[in-house]
Structure 1
Amino acid sequence: MRLPYPRSFSSLLLAGFALVTLPLLTGMGYTAYVQERLATQTRQAISLTLQVTRTTRQLAEDISSLQRSAGQFYVLRDPQLRNGMRDAHEAIGRALRTLHALPYGPSNTERLRQLALREGVLYAQLSDPANVGLRRFDSFTEDFTRLSRLADQLTVAGNAMVDDQVASLTRRAQTLRTVLLLQAAAAVLLSVLIAGLFSWLLNRPVRQIDQAIRRLGAGDLQPQPPVRGPIDLVFLGQQLDWLRQRLRELDEQKLRFLRHVSHELKTPLASLREGVELLADGVGGRLSGQQREIAQIMRGNARDLQQRIENLINYSRAQRQLDPLVSSGVDLPDLLDALVRRNELALRAKRLRVERSGQTPLLKADAGKLDTLFENLLINAMRFSPEGGVIRLDLRAGPDAVDVTVCDQGPGVAEHDRAHLFKPFFQGSRQPPSAAPGNGLGLAIAQEYAQLHGGGVRLCDTPGQAGACFCVHLPFDISLQPGSTTASTSMTHQPSVQDDDPGWQQTQPCQHP
């Protein structure tokens, strides 16, 4: 059975704060209670100590007073002196009654009884008129000595009882200190556990919302698990789901629009290109040099327009991962050579030369997407290369990956453009003056397709050299995206290069073989 959340985030926070402070408040209350008990016991012990000390001292003084009064009476035989004997006798009785009420123990209680009995017999003898004239006072010395000895024993017993009280209070204080330390540790531990529990309860819906926002930001428009938590956060999660549905509808509308535009543009463009090709081939008649030059310009512009349309469609499909990877053995040198031959006319138009170096083994990859990837890089190099320049294609095979470098001799990339280089529709500040403006999707598409293969594209530094170099990293064993297929055997998912190396996108030196 799942416990219900409070109705709001603030009420959950207040409940967590109250439960966290509850063990601490309980501990403080218990501490105050036991300290009050210890203080009461201390006051009782102090009162008992004072009573025992005062009474035993008074008892010794009363016995001395009885002995002194009796001696004076027996010497002077003054009847008034009997009052002093009587007062001392009564004071001894009061002291004995007070001591008898104290927790002296059985042995000391017997001493009190004997002292009371002996003192009563001695007082009776001292008060007997027959003894006044017949006995000398010296004959009672032994009796007074016994009384004094019993009083001293009671004083020693009282001191021992006081010592026991002090030792008992010390033990109780030590026990209380240990209990309070354990209680404080338990209260802190319990508070930390409750705080951890409520922190998890508070962070759980926040993490769910954060993950939903991150997925939306990454373009993942699939349904997300519902947010569980306080009602206000649940409502916020529902609003995010509404936003996801709205974004999905807009994305579908965008795809429909792109499909519609591509269909509406590619059909007349195909007819236009066919007409231009027929015109350039002289089907309609022999062309003059100026007419042939115009036909070549029209042919190039038509091809460029088709490339832009295809880039728009390819980038949208790559972002949505609508085309799964079809893995097969790809010979990168052959693919690059075929790519150069396909763009031979454009290369001749700018008198560009392509130099390829290096060999690589067969690569498990999607040949069509790699062709698009390197064609975009080659077209970018052609666009920025000066007339009569050289484009270098360098291949290097590592233990677990292939690195391909595409370098041109153009103006290079400005420092402030490097952070935005692979963003869609971004146009750098160093545009060639003679070239038609591009759509800023070539490098973005190349990056998307490289990441689909578990690799990436980065801008490499070229110390001492003009132009820009783009390094493509492709692992031999690609990480297929969900829904991908393979022409041979299926491969398990592995993390991409960007996951393993956070600095892959950063600019790094480029080395040429």
Structure 2
Amino acid sequence: MTGMRLPLRMAFSSMLLWSFALVGLPLLLGMSVTAYLLDQVAAQARSSVAVAVQLTRASRQLAQDIDNLQRASGQCLVLKDVALCDGVRQAHVAFEQDAAQLAAMPLPGAQLRTLQTLRDQETALFANVMASGGAKDGSRVFDALNPRFDAMRTAAGELIAHSNQLVDAQEARLQQVSGRVWTVLGWLALASVSLSVSLALLLSWLLGRPLRQLKRAIRRLGEGRLDQAPGVDGPRDLVDLGVQLDWLRRRLAELEAQKIQFLRHVSHELKTPLASMKEGVDLLTDGVPGPLNAEQQSITRIMRGNVRDLHQRIDSLLHYDSALHAPVTLQLVTVKLRLLLASLIRRNHLTLRARGVRVDCGCSALQVRGDRAKLESLFENLLINAIRFSPQGGRIGFDAEAVSGGVDIRISDEGPGVAPEDLPHLFQPFFQGRNQPASALRGTGLGLALARQYAQMHGGTLELLPHTGRGAVFRVFLPDPPQPPTALNA
């Protein structure tokens, strides 16, 4: 198909599912990274808490071991009981075990040096106690050793203080890490959401583009523009729909060409015998076969009016086809509304006289710029429509006034009016409303459509005004100066 690009080998539903997956992928990745970072922070927090608990417990236990060693040493030296000296050995072993466990932990250099000093002091103190276990003056020896126990207890207090400081440092570090993690998570969430929204907008535009192309193609078909093939690219099923629309366009173009050819043939075939009838009626009217009496002259006038009515209907068909398909060219001149309407009234004098209809023209000295032939067709179609629906002895009014930007002309009659259900179709070609006069032949349904086309060619409008009472009131607005022709709606 002309203008059609290579389609995606994917159906619209599949493309929609992939679009949802792509939009959700950044969010899924963001959630995965978030879970990983939170797990890392939690693991580090568990490790830090475990180290802090072990440090605190080991430091306090070391202080407890010093107290146990001092108590056991006092019992050994003061009571001079060999069995009690075994308690000193047990306290020494417990101290060594707890000190070794504490030394294996990640301690700063100052704390390690303090711990090593404490171990040296404990080793020397233990040796002194064991060496003095049998001394007679054990009490004096124990009192001499108490300051060394106090020094060890002070060193153990320093270890506990160092452990507390280490715990505080671990807590501060965890807070910093947590803050950085939450900052990273915030930027990650913003990036994930932004990327998902960007992907959603991009995919929405990509998925909506073939739908917009189809919409434009359908609008062009509805407006009767059949010269441009619909170009649809995207999912496979939408491209197939574009191909079907192109088939419909070509089929409508063929039907439109057949309709135009049919109208031209019918018009030609009708005008040929109609011309012969007109010549015959003119001969009778001129009295060529012989003089006519009053009744015969009345009959020939009726025949002449019917011939002219048929001629006008054929011209309406041809003019409507020309208005739709011929290039819009306006021969702009200054037209006086009163003179234009007066010529139209004279042209339809016999029909007005036969129905006893009076035309009141309140156009004063207004004038417009426009194509005279097309303006004549516009107002004559409105006049013929008003005559056709006017009752016997009715009145038709033409009222015009200058308004901002142009001229407003209103055409009113005293007919049955327009049925409410006919309003949406009133200006469609070949449409005939429900309130048709019983005494008149049915028209072609082109008069109002053609009048509207010519009003739009001048950049103006034609509409039916709502009003109370009988009849119909049509409003024609013609801009001054004429605007470029608007898109014509059949």
| Class of the TM-score when normalised by the shorter of the 2 chains | over 0.9
**Are the aligned partners of 2:305 and 2:350 in contact in 1 as well (CA < 8 Å)?**
no
Mean Cα displacement is larger for which, 147-156 or 303-312? 303-312
Among candidates 7, 12, 16, match of residue 19 of structure 2: 16
Mapped pair 1:467 → 2:471: yes
Alignment of 1:62 onto 2:65? yes
Tell me if 1:405 matches 2:410: yes
Whether contact under 8 Å (2:230, 2:242) holds in the other structure is no
Match of 1:300 in 2: 305
Contact 2:338 2:366 in 1 (8 A): no
* Pairing partner for 1:117 from 94, 117, 120: 120
Q: What displacement does 1:322 show? A: 4.5
Distance between the aligned counterparts of 1:472 and 1:382, measured in 2?
18
Q: Aligned with 1:424: secondary structure?
A: coil
Alignment partners' CA distance in 1, 2:207 and 2:434: 47
Which of the residues 239, 244, 257 maps onto 1:239? 244
Q: In 2 relative to 1, CA 328–369 (structure 1 residues): closer, same or farther, beyond 3 Å?
A: same
1:77 is the counterpart of 2:80: yes
Contact 1:413 1:468 in 2 (8 A): yes
User: In the TM superposition, what are the counterparts of 1:136-175 in structure 2 within 5 Å?
Assistant: 136-175=141-180
**Which residue number in structure 2 is paired with residue 316 of structure 1?**
321
- Identify the residue that residue 342 of structure 1 maps to in structure 2: 347
Tell me: CA distance 1:52–1:247, structure 2 relative to 1, closer, same or farther (3 Å). Answer: same
Q: Indicate the larger mover: 114-123 or 298-307.
A: 298-307
- Note the C-alpha offset of 1:86: 1.2
Which residue of 2 is the match for residue 485 of structure 1? none
Instruction: Kindly indicate whether residue 358 of structure 2 is the aligned counterpart of residue 353 of structure 1.
Output: yes
Gaps of 5+ in 2: none
Q: Is the 8 A contact 2:230 2:245 kept in 1?
A: no
Instruction: Provide the secondary structure at the position in 1 that maps to 2:135.
Output: helix
Root-mean-square deviation (Å): 2.2
CA distance in 2, matches of 1:279, 1:323: 41
Q: 387, 391, 394: which one pairs with 1:386?
A: 391
- Cα distance between partner residues in 1 of 2:221 and 2:143: 116
Match of 2:481 among 477, 484, 490: 477
Count of residue pairs the alignment pairs up: 483
Letter in 2 for 1:38: V
C-alpha separation in 2, matches of 1:47 and 1:429: 94
Partner of 2:39: 36
Please name the residue that 1:507 is paired with.
none
1:95-153: per-residue Cα shift (whole Å, max 9, x none)? 22222222221221111111111111111111114883455211111000001011111
Paired amino acid for 2:430: F
For residue 289 of structure 1, report the CA deviation from its aligned partner: 3.1
For residues 28 and 466 of structure 1, the distance between their equivalents in structure 2, rounded to whole angstroms, comes to: 73
Matched, 1:258 2:224: no
SS in 2 for 1:440: coil
Determine the C-alpha separation between the residues in 1 that align with 2:466 and 2:248.
Answer: 42
TM-score by length of 2: 0.93
Structure 1 unmatched runs, 5+: 482-494, 499-513
Q: 1:30 to 1:147 in 2, by over 3 A?
A: same
Deviations along 1:10-58, one digit per CA (max 9) or x if unpaired, are 3322222221111011011101111111111121122112211211121
Which letter does structure 1 place at the counterpart of 2:270? L
Q: Secondary structure at the match of 1:136?
A: helix
TM-score by length of 1: 0.89
Deviations 1:443-495 (A, max 9, x none): 111112111221111112344x53211110111132334xxxxxxxxxxxxx6
Comparing 387-396 with 227-236, greater Cα deviation is found at: 227-236
Q: Structure 2: how far apart are the matches of 1:360 and 1:174?
A: 86
2:32 and 2:292 map into 1 onto residues whose CA distance is: 106
What's the secondary structure of 2:477's corresponding residue?
strand
Name the CA shift for 1:281/1:145 in 2 (closer, same or farther; >3 Å). same
Task: Specify whether residues 245 and 76 from structure 1 end up closer, same or farther in structure 2 by C-alpha distance, changes over 3 A only.
Answer: same
Q: Is residue 188 from structure 1 mapped to residue 193 from structure 2 by the alignment?
A: yes
Aligned partners of 1:420, 1:94: CA distance in 2, in Å?
105
- In 2: Cα distance, 1:402 partner to 1:89 partner: 120
Equivalent in the alignment of 1:132 = 135
Among residues 101, 104, 110, which one is paired with 2:104 in the alignment? 101
1:28–1:89: structure 2 CA closer, same or farther, 3 Å change rule?
same
Structure 2 letter corresponding to 1:55: A
The answer to whether residue 86 in structure 2 is matched with residue 86 in structure 1 is no
Tell me, in whole angstroms, the C-alpha distance in 2 between the residues paired with 1:314 and 1:480.
20
Q: In percent, how many aligned pairs have the same letter?
A: 48
Does structure 1 retain, via aligned residues, the 8 Å contact 2:453–2:488?
Answer: no
Match among 423, 426, 433 for residue 428 of structure 2: 423
Checking the alignment, whether the CA contact within 8 Å between 1:360 and 1:402 is kept in structure 2 is: no
Amino acid at match of 2:24: T
Distance 1:66 1:30 in 2: 53
